[in-house]
C-alpha cells in the first residue's frame, strides 16, 4: 500500500474525529463531553484519538480553531446600494449567522472556557466578532465616501450597529427562551437600521444632526 493512501486514510480519520468532537462538544459542553462519546461517534477507538491529539484540551482547541477558520468568509457586500438597503442586507446576514444554533453553541463553549483558555478566546474573537466588526466598518466607510451616511468613527459605529442588532433577540435565543410575539429577525434588523439612519443621516447643509 503506497504511503499516500495510508496518509489519506489517516487524514480521513483525523477529520472524522474532528467532526465528531465538534458535534459532541457543541451538544454537551466541554467538561461533559467524554472521549468515549467522541470515539464512538467518529467510529474509531479512543487510542486513535490520542494518536492524533495529545489530550482533550488539544482536541478541543483544534475543534474551535477549525470552526473559526470556516466562518472567516463573511462575504463581500455586492453591488452598490443605498444606505438602508446596504445596512439591512448586512444586518440580516449577520444576525442570521449569530442566531444559528451552531454559532450559539460555539459562543457558549468559548465564553465558558475563556477564563481557562485565554488564547482560544482570543482566536475566537479575532475570527468571529473581530472580522465581523471589520467587515461592517469597511462597509460604513464606503457608505460615508459615497455621501450616504455621516461616518466619523466607523469602528465605533460598527460597534453600535452590531450591538443594536443583537440586543434582546440574541440574549433570548442564547438562553433558549421562547421568542415573544412580534419578535423577528426582520424587525430587529429594521429597528437597528432605522436608528442608524436617523442618527447618522448625512447633513446636506453641513449642519450637525
Partner DNA sequence: GTCTATAGCCAGATAGAC
Partner DNA sequence: GTCTATCTGGCTATAGAC
Residues at the contact surface with DNA, assessed by CB under 7 A = 6, 9-10, 13-14, 33-37, 43-48, 50-52, 55-57
Question: Is 186 a binder of a second copy (CB under 8 A)?
Answer: no
Q: Which of residues 84-113 bind a second copy (CB under 8 A)?
A: 105, 107-113
Residue 146, C-alpha cell as written in the block? 459615497
Residue 144, C-alpha cell as written in the block? 460615508
Q: What secondary structure letter does DSSP report for 178?
A: P
Comparison of 29 and 202: residue with beta carbon closer to DNA = 29
Instruction: Note the helical H segments in the chain.
Output: 3-28, 35-42, 46-52, 56-70, 83-99, 101-113, 118-125, 131-145, 154-174, 185-199
Question: Is 147 a binder of a second copy (CB under 8 A)?
Answer: no
> How far is residue 116's CA from residue 102's CA, in Å, rounded to a whole number?
22
Question: Is 7 a binder of a second copy (CB under 8 A)?
Answer: no
Q: Which residues bind a second copy (CB under 8 A)?
A: 29-32, 105, 107-116, 118, 121-122, 124-125, 129, 133, 156, 159-160, 162-168, 171-172, 174-177, 188, 191-192, 194-196, 198-200, 209
Amino acid at each position: 500500500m503506497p504511503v499516500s493512501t495510508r496518509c489519506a486514510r489517516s487524514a480521513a480519520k483525523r477529520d472524522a474525529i474532528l467532526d465528531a468532537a465538534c458535534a459532541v462538544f457543541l451538544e454537551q459542553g466541554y467538561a461533559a463531553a467524554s472521549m468515549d462519546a467522541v470515539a464512538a461517534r467518529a467510529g474509531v477507538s479512543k487510542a486513535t484519538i490520542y494518536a492524533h491529539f495529545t489530550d482533550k484540551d488539544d482536541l478541543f482547541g483544534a475543534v474551535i480553531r477549525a470552526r473559526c477558520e470556516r466562518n472567516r468568509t463573511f462575504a463581500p457586500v455586492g453591488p452598490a446600494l443605498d444606505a438602508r438597503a446596504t445596512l439591512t442586507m448586512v444586518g440580516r446576514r449577520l444576525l442570521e449567522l449569530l442566531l444559528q444554533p451552531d454559532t450559539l453553541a460555539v459562543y457558549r463553549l468559548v465564553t465558558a472556557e475563556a477564563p481557562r483558555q485565554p488564547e482560544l478566546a482570543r482566536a475566537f474573537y479575532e475570527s468571529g466578532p473581530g472580522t465581523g466588526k471589520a467587515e461592517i466598518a469597511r462597509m460604513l466607510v464606503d457608505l460615508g465616501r459615497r455621501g450616504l451616511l455621516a461616518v466619523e468613527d466607523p469602528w465605533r459605529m460598527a460597534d453600535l450597529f452590531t450591538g443594536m442588532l443583537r440586543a434582546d433577540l440574541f440574549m433570548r435565543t442564547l438562553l433558549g427562551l421562547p421568542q415573544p410575539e412580534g419578535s423577528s429577525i426582520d424587525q430587529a434588523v429594521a429597528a437597528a437600521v432605522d436608528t442608524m439612519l436617523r442618527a447618522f443621516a448625512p447633513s446636506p447643509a453641513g449642519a450637525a444632526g
